[in-house]
């Protein structure tokens, strides 16, 4: 069965093209739920800003990376990507490694 850790690992392949870092370490993934015995993945995510020009690309790539899990977990039927703005993203949401790499201390 698919787990939250597997989904987060897949989402680490999604790179914000403007920042050059994955969306998990950037802190853009707020919630990952695996429901219905692994048939549904439901993700709450945000962007660094509502006006992010790469937003549609990032969301599509996130869906695509999760869909790739179907090659092993064929029970996966539905992927829900919810774009949320609460709480509003800020640099403190990044992983420690991301803050260090980008110079936020």
- The CATH class given to the 4-89 domain equals alpha beta
Angle in degrees, CA 70, 71, 73, rounded to 5: 50
Record the pTM. 0.94
- Return the residue matching tokens 């439901």: 42
Q: What is the pLDDT of residues 35-76, one digit of tens each?
A: 999 999 999 999 999 999 999 999 999 999 999 999 999 999
Instruction: Write down the pLDDT at residue 105.
Output: 67
**So where are the chain's domains?**
4-89
Let me know how long the chain is. Answer: 105
Q: Are 46 and 86 in contact (CB under 8 A)?
A: no
């Amino acid at each position: 069965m698919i787990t939250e850790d597997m989904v987060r690992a897949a989402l680490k392949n999604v790179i914000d093209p403007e920042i050059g870092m994955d969306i998990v370490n950037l802190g853009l993934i707020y919630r990952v739920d695996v429901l219905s015995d692994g048939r549904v993945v439901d993700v709450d995510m945000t962007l660094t800003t509502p006006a992010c020009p790469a937003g549609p690309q990032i969301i599509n790539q996130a869906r695509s990376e999760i869909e790739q899990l179907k090659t092993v977990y064929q029970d996966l039927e539905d992927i829900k990507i919810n774009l949320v703005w609460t709480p509003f993203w800020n640099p403190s949401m990044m992983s420690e490694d991301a803050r260090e790499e980008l110079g936020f201390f």
